[in-house]
Structure formats: C-alpha cells, structure tokens
Structure 1
Amino acid sequence: MSGTLWVALTMAAVGAVVLTYQHRRHLARVQRDRAALFEHATDVLEQCRVVPRGLEFPLMYGRFEGRDVRVEPVVDALALRTVPVLRLIVTMREHIPGQPSLSVLSNETGNEFYSGHRDLLRWRDPAWPKWVSVACDPDGVDRELADAAVGLVTEDAAVKQVLVTERGVRCVVRGAQANSTAYRVTRRADLSEARVTAEDLYKAVTMIDGLCDQAAGLNSRRPVAVSEAESL
C-alpha cells in the first residue's frame, strides 16, 4: 500500500468518525431540547408526568379538576403559512353518553390532518363568522353548546380547533412558532427553543374544563335538523 493511499484512507476514516460524532451530538441536543418542552408547565396538572419520545416532542399526562388530561404536541407544517407552527392537542376526558360529535375549526385550509373535521357534516349559520367552520354528526348537536365552542375559537387567536365528543373535549392550540429566520434559509422548522408556559397551558385546560362542564350539564338537547347540515 502506497503512502498516499494510506493517508487518504486514514483521513477518510477520521472524517467518518468526526461526522458520526457530530451527528450524535446533534441528535442528543435535539432530543434534550424537545424533552424540555414542558419544563415550565409541569405544575399546572396534578399527578403530572412527561413521557419522552426520543426525537419527537414528549407527551404530557395529568389531571385537572378531577379529569384526565393528555397533551400531545404536533408540528403543523402543511398549512398555507410562512412558518411552521407547533400545536398542542389538549384532550380532557369526560364521559358524556350520547353526545354527538361537534367540531369548530378556525381558518380551515383542508390540511388540518389532526382535526377529523372532514369526517363530519358542515353546519352553516349566518350568526357565525365566515372564517369559522362548524361541523357535527348527522343527528345534530345542542345549539347552546355549538355557540359556546364557536366563542372559544373566535375569542382567542391561539385556538385552532375545539372538538366535543362523548369521550370529552379536545382543543388544538398554538404552542410555539418555528424560528422564522432559520426556516427561510434552510426550509427546516427550528423549534429547539419552544417551551410551553404555565400560563398558556393553564388557560387552555381551564377553557376546556369549562366546556366539559357545559357539555356534561346539558340534560335536554336541542339538536339541529339534519337538513341544516351539508355534506363535505
């Protein structure tokens, strides 16, 4: 083996080791950053536990006012927007027997992969803003509950969706936005500094808890007629 070839092979081996080391450091940093997403919000829920998911953002579980809560982060990069957004799917469990599904979605684009909105029938009403999309089961839902859900979406720009089912209430809220400068240069969503604040999480679970109370307390339901709902 010539000296030149030996040097080339040695340099290639060293380069591979360096690249592997740098890649592992990068993965470790990403995992560490994402695992810290809820570090400022763990006191909001009782019996709170954060479940790491490797390179994915962690899940959070706990209880609020006696109800089970699950918080799942999802990266929304499909919407027609400049910068991807980290959304939080906050689910509060409540047994509401016979409750028809109701979904209220803000600024629908058709790319809301997390919503399940398109599986329901559209309900249009001139009293609601045009940028709010309301959908429900064919049997219809209580108008008072629908108005309350629409109000949550229209009164807070951070709320993307409210979903009510017989298993409880789910709310999709904005958790963080990617670094706009880095995204415009690399077209990659940099959410390494994303952190959920205690204030934002408390606001979300309080809002959902109130809607759970309202849905569970509606004994006499006044469903809309099926004719008022249009198929998607």
Structure 2
Amino acid sequence: MPLAAAGLLLAIPAAVALVHAWRREQRRARAWRAELFADALDLIEGPALRQDGLDYPVLRGRWQGLAVELKPIADTVAMRKLPSLWLQVTLTAPTGASGIADVLLRPLGVEYWSPASDLPVSVPTPASLPETAQIRLDHEGAASLLPLVAAHAALLARPATKELLITPKGVRLVVQLAEAERGSYLLFREARFAIRRIERAALEEMLVATARILEDVRRAMAGRNDGYRPTLDAAA
C-alpha cells in the first residue's frame, strides 16, 4: 500500500475522533449554560426559557405583575479586555417618560448590545454620577429624566452596573455576572465563565432595583403633588 494511502487511512479515525470530541464539548457547553437560571426560576411567573444553539438561555415571564425579560450576553468584542457576561434585566410597562435616556458606564465604544450609539443627544455627566458615565438621549426634552437617573447614583456607582436605560415602554438594567477565565482566554481565546447558576437572591436584588427605578419614573412622570421625590437610597 502506498505510504500516502496508509497515512490517509490513519488520519481518518483521528479526524473522526476529533469531531466526536468537538461535538461532545459543544453539548457540554450548551448544557452548562442552560442551567444559568435553574436556581431562580421560581421568582418568575409563567417562566419561558429559550436557548438558541450555544447561546445562554433567555428567560421571559412576569415578576410582580410586570413583564420581564432576562437576557444574558456573552460579550467577546472588546479588545485588550477579558470578555464579560452581562445580564439585561428588562421590565416592560408604560413609564410616562417623554423620551429615552441611556446611561452607559465605562463605555468602550463596542457595546453592540446597547442602544447608546443610536441616541443623538449627548449631555454632560452630572457631578453626582460616576465620571465614567456616558449619558445619551433621543431628544433634548428627555433631559427631564436626569434627576431620576441621579437619584440612583448609588446603584450606578457599583462596579457590576454597566447600563441603565429608561424608555416610555419600560426600564432596563445591565449588570456584569462574570468575567471570562483568564487562562483559557489568553491561551485559546475561549470565553469560559465560571458562573453556572445565578443565585436566587442576587437575581431578586437586580429585579427589585430595576422595579424601584421603574416606579420612580412612573410616579414622577405622573406629576404627583404629594411631595414625592426620588432619593439616593431608592436603589439601595
């Protein structure tokens, strides 16, 4: 048998073994990610999970009577920085807001999942907010939302907080769940996140913080005359 043919016969089993190993690893990774919300599903009424391919599952349902979406994002775009696993906590309900206000913390210019780059109006960062906060609006009239944003400065100053979005349709809070393991990323450029399940108490805290902002906006935009003012401890 020619050497070339013999070499091919030896290579085929090795290639098949590699394919099987790759598929096994893909199944393992998908199963690992599928468990992200396993410890907190009872927080959500009528929970519906959707997982596409190797993506993290998106959880939708209702919480405290509000429509909620919990969407993890494995962000591997930023250069010279370990990938991050973000969680978008979105509560959907009419807020009464006349526009859109977005606060993006520590922007890198590659936050493809954020609407910030599509908002045309940029405003100076109030002294009460972290210096790294970038504030953008859909129009100048939306500046009426800035006092409400400033009222939650304590929440925005937390290292894990990445974004706060207020719109007429609801409120979104984006927080960091984990950073990729340094070793596997530096050696193989593979974004592995050590977190397997979100702790129930941690997720509940995120939901409560988002709901408090939503309630602040709704009450303020309703023009109540009961002396209500959003306070710095509203998101504590």
Scaled to the shorter chain, the TM-score interval is: 0.7 to 0.9
Q: Hey, what does 2:156 align to over in structure 1?
A: 153
Q: Hey, what does 2:223 align to over in structure 1?
A: 220
Distance (Å, rounded) in 1 between the aligned partners of 2:49 and 2:84: 21
Q: Hey, what does 1:77 align to over in structure 2?
A: 76
Distance (Å, rounded) in 1 between the aligned partners of 2:55 and 2:96: 34
Q: Hey, what does 1:18 align to over in structure 2?
A: 17
Contact between 1:62 and 1:69, CA under 8 Å: does it hold in 2? yes
Q: 1:81 to 1:211 in 2, by over 3 A?
A: farther
Q: Deviations over 1:140-191 (max 9, x none)?
A: 323431212444212x221100000011001110111111122222222112
Measure how far apart 1:56 and its partner are.
Answer: 1.0
SS at match of 1:114: coil
Contact between 2:130 and 2:156, CA under 8 Å: does it hold in 1? no
Q: Hey, what does 2:231 align to over in structure 1?
A: none
Query: What does 1:133-152 correspond to in 2, within 5 Å?
Result: 133-136=134-137, 137-139=139-141, 140-152=143-155
Distance (Å, rounded) in 2 between the aligned partners of 1:128 and 1:6: 69
Distance (Å, rounded) in 1 between the aligned partners of 2:80 and 2:37: 25
Q: Which amino acid aligns with 1:123?
A: V
Q: Hey, what does 1:111 align to over in structure 2?
A: 110
Where in structure 1 are there 5+ consecutive unaligned residues? 222-232
Q: How many residues align?
A: 219
TM-score using structure 2 length? 0.83
SS at match of 1:69: strand
TM-score using structure 1 length? 0.84
Distance (Å, rounded) in 2 between the aligned partners of 1:129 and 1:18: 52
Deviates more, 1:130-139 or 1:205-214: 130-139
Q: Hey, what does 2:193 align to over in structure 1?
A: 191
Q: 1:3 to 1:110 in 2, by over 3 A?
A: closer
Deviates more, 1:58-67 or 1:182-191: 182-191
Measure how far apart 1:132 and its partner are.
Answer: 1.8
SS at match of 2:41: coil
Distance (Å, rounded) in 2 between the aligned partners of 1:92 and 1:144: 20
Contact between 1:86 and 1:176, CA under 8 Å: does it hold in 2? yes
